[in-house]
Amino acid sequence: MQYSYTTSGTCSKAITFDKDEDGVITNVKFYGGCPGNLAAISKLVNGMTADQINNILAGNRCGGKPTSCADQLAKAVTSV
């Protein structure tokens, strides 16, 4: 099933992704933000479970911000 998540506190504005019944995440797409870095993150997490993504990316910060696009992805995949 495809989900959409509105980010907060980052340059990216939204994230879409598919999550299957086993919690496996595919087709991650960020809208806005740093295209090269976010395309790389999308490729790296493809096929991981929501829990795996959360364990790796949750709490990552961007500069002085309290969050990052990676952290927002962790929040997104575990919120649904």
Q: Across the 80 residues of the chain, what is the mean pLDDT of every consecutive 10-residue run?
A: 97 97 97 96 98 98 96 97
**Residue 37: what pLDDT?**
95
Measured in residues, the chain has a length of 80
* Local structure of residue 10 (DSSP, 8 states): S
Residue whose tokens read 């990052």: 68
**Residue 42: what pLDDT?**
98
Question: In whole angstroms, what is the distance from residue 50 CA to residue 30 CA?
Answer: 16
